[in-house]
Structures are given as C-alpha cells and as structure tokens.
Amino acid sequence: MKHPEYHSELKTRKNQMSAEIENVVVVGSGPAGYTAALYMARANLSPLVIEGFMWGGLLQQTTDVENYPGFPEGIMGPELMEHFRGQAERFGARLITDQASRVELSDKPGGIHTVWVEDQAYRTRAVVLAMGAEHKKLGVAGEEELSGRGVSYCATCDAAFFRDKETIIVGGGDSAMEEASFLAKFASKVTIINRRAELRASKIMVERVRSMDNIEVLTPYVVSEFVAGADGALESARLSNVESGDESKIDIKGAFIAVGHVPQSELVKGTVETDENGYVAVAGRSTKTNLPGVFAAGDLVDHTYRQAITAAGSGCQAALDAEWYLRDTPQLPA
Ligand code: NDP
C-alpha cells in the first residue's frame, strides 16, 4: 500500500538530495526504527527514515495490543504504530514511504554509506538497520484469510482472546513450547501439532509442556487447511498424517503458528555480518554491527524476546550508539 501524501514529498526529494550527506538513515519502521528515529530527531540529527510501503512492522498485522506498557486499556497495533510514527515526525524525523532497494556500506570509521531507494541514492554518515523479521508462514489454504480471525503468530499477544476455547499450536521448537505453556493458561485445551514425532525444542521446555494437563502433543501431523465458520472466523483445521497420509479434522477457535521467524536481512546480506539464521550480529549488548557507523536493532537482531517493547528499547540503544559514533568519529572526506 502506497501512502499518497509521501509521494509528492519523495519526488521533490529526488531532485534535491543527491549532493547532501545525511547524519543518519534508518531503514525500517517497526517499534525499533521509529524509536531510533525519535531519539535521533530529539538529538537534532534530523534522521531520514526509509519506512517501507507497509510501515509499522509486524504490529500492523495485530489487533489489540494489551502488553505494551502505558496503555492500561490496550491499544490496536496499527494505532500504536501511528503514535510511534507521529512522535518521531513531531521532532523532525523525515519519512520516505518506500523500500530501500540496495545499500553500499563503508568499512572505514567515518566513511560514507549509501542507501538506495529505487534509483535515488542517499549518502549518510550512519545507518540504523531495523527491518525486523517476518513470522514464517505455513503457506496452507485459509492461513492468510483467517490471519487475525483465529489464526495468529503470537500467543503472547493474542492468547487472552481464546479463554476457555480449544486451540492448536503448530511447531515443535522452543517457541512453540513457550507459546503452548502461555496459551494453556487461557485456553481450555492446546494441541501441539508437529510434523515429526520428535520435538526440536529443548528437553526442559518439552517436559514443562508435557506436565500441563490441558496440553496434548499430536505427531506426526501437518495442517493442510484452515477452515472458516459461517461467521468468517476460524472453525477447524484439516490435518494430514505425514506418515500414513490420513486426513482428519480438529475443531478449534484459535491456531497459533510457531514455526520460526525469518529476519528481513536480505538487503545487507554479504555486507553486514549475520548469524547462520540470517539475524544481524551485534557486538555484546550494543547495537554495533561489524561495520563502523552501521547499527542494528529490533527483531532483525533479536531471535529471543521479539516483543514490541524490547524492539523499542533496542531502537533507543541504536540511536544512542549512533549519536555517540557521530560525536566521536571524524568524517572521512566524501
Ligand atoms: P525453530 O527453528 O527452533 O523451530 C521451528 C519448528 O517449526 C520446528 O519444530 C520445525 O520442525 C517446525 N517447522 C518449520 N517449518 C515448518 C513447516 N513449514 N511446517 C510445519 N512445521 C514447521 O524455531 P523457534 O522459533 O522455535 O526457535 C528459534 C530459536 O530461538 C531457537 O534457537 C530456540 O532455541 C530459541 N528460542 C529460545 C527460547 C527460550 O530459550 N526460552 C524461546 C523461544 C525460542 P522440524 O523440527 O521438523 O524442523
């Protein structure tokens, strides 16, 4: 979805920007990106945010957010992101509602980095990478249509909506176990559906799940389809036994998919150091990547906590790291 009000601004910018060197360009616009932008705007760095067409990150795909501190009545995910965005803009962050298409990052302290949006190059002294991660999808029928109507990718966010309801978790890793333990405090029943008889998750987490009365483990099964009821919400899932091929059906109100995440690091692949799963690597508790002046925050880095509040916190850290870098590092001749 393009946001028309930013198109005219973008066009004007295209004719103006090529000779300028930005202080800092933020790539990405979830809680990490906008928080980094807010802090840097308040430090008078006038950050340029390349926020993507679908600005707002994963929270744009959720409904009520009840665990973001400061909103005792809860807040809708998209509304929360509008607040983040508006707050960054209020202090002078400049937003480009388009995708970053390519980067050329310097490996020298004080070097100039370049971020492209289509054919427009933005040169900058510092970069904050905050492209986030995507929930890995199953890719089965009904999954997309019922997302937000019974199909969810975050039990921590949505479990409370399934109080006393029958639910499933798809996946057999630590995330699936953690989601199942959390969901079981609300749902009447949680069935973990895993494609192999063996669960990938750590023993202690499997034991915890197995000790809970309302959790059952069903293997080796995959979901072949999510089916809606007359009200348009999730009513059942079709299951297929991986070994025998037998088909069955399970009646459920909620399905939580926990088959891993995919960090959105393609843009910097081969330039910035990542781990074997594609998460950007940072030094210690900082947001510093292997390249001077390039910082990374949020779900792009974090495969453990993955919460809006932790992403926002790391966006703040990235802003401070960038601010200190700009203060302490003389710029090389451009
Ligand atoms: P994992 O990659 O560990 O597990 C993914 C699970 O989903 C596996 O069971 C996998 O099956 C299954 N799966 C993948 N694709 C499909 C598919 N298309 N259809 C059906 N099933 C599928 O991801 P997690 O998110 O669970 O964990 C990521 C990392 O984060 C891990 O290192 C984990 O230890 C860590 N983590 C740690 C926690 C903690 O310590 N508290 C909590 C959460 C995560 P298969 O096994 O067959 O590949």
Digit-coded pLDDT (tens) for 261-315: 899 999 999 999 999 999 999 999 999 999 999 999 999 999 889 899 999 999 9
Q: Is the pLDDT of residue 13 over 50?
A: no
Query: Which of 227, 257, 287 represents a domain boundary (last residue)?
Result: 257
Structure tokens at 319: 């802003």
The mean of the pLDDT values for the chain is 93
Which DSSP string do the residues of 225-262 spell out, in sequence order? EEEE-TTSSEEEEEEEETTT--EEEEE-SEEEE-S-EE
| 253/265 same-domain check | no
User: Of all protein residues, whose CA lies closest to atom 39 belonging to ligand 1?
Assistant: 174
> What is each CA distance from 255 to 156, 160, 164, 189, 262, in whole angstroms?
13, 13, 14, 11, 20
Query: What percent of the residues of the chain are helix, what percent strand, and what percent coil, each to the nearest 5?
Result: 30, 25, 45
Q: Looking at the structure, tell me whether residues 266 and 238 fall in a common domain.
A: no
Give the pLDDT confidence score for residue 157 in this predicted structure.
82
Given a cut of 80, whether residue 64 has pLDDT beyond it is: no
pLDDT at residue 146 tops 70 = yes
Q: Do residue 265 and residue 130 come from a single domain?
A: yes
Residue 202 and residue 226 in one domain: yes
The pTM (predicted TM-score) of the whole model is 0.75
Split into its structural domains, the chain has a count of: 2
Residue-level pLDDT at 256: 98
Euclidean distance between CA atoms 234 and 225, whole angstroms: 11
* Residue 223 lies in domain: 137-257
> Are the beta carbons of 82 and 31 closer than 8 angstroms?
no
The confidence band for 3, taking pLDDT boundaries of 50, 70 and 90, is very low
Residue nearest atom 22 of ligand 1, based on CA coordinates: 259
Contact criterion met (CB below 8 Å) for 272 and 166: no
Structural domain contains residue 290:
yes
CB atoms within 10 A of CB 296: 33
Reference 255, options 123, 152, 162; nearest CA is: 152
**Residue 12 reports pLDDT greater than 80:** no
Q: Are residues 240 and 309 in the same domain?
A: no
CATH number for the domain that contains residue 158: 3.50.50.60
Note the pLDDT tens digit of each residue in 172-211: 998 899 999 999 999 999 999 999 999 999 999 999 999 9
Q: How many beta carbons lie within 10 A of that of residue 253, not counting itself?
A: 19
Helix H or strand E segment including 283: none
Residue 136 DSSP one-character state:
P
Is 333 a member of any domain? no
d(CA 104, CA 171): 37
Whether 192 is in a domain gets the answer yes
Q: Do 253 and 315 reside in the same domain of the chain?
A: no
Residue nearest to ligand 1 atom 23, measured at CA: 260
Tell me the pLDDT tens digit for each residue of 199-255. 999 999 999 999 999 999 999 999 999 999 999 999 999 999 999 999 999 999 999
In a domain, 334, yes or no: no
Active site residues: 154, 157-158
pLDDT of amino acid 54: 87
Residue 93 in any domain: the answer is yes
* Same-domain check for residues 241 and 286: no
Residue ending a domain, among 205, 222, 257, is 257
Report the separation in Å between the CA atom of 170 and the middle of ligand 1, taken as the mean of its atom positions.
10
pLDDT cut 90: percent of the chain above it: 85
Four-point Cα dihedral 179, 182, 188, 190, nearest 10:
20
Task: For ligand 1, say whether the CB of 259 is within 6 Å of any of its atoms.
Answer: yes
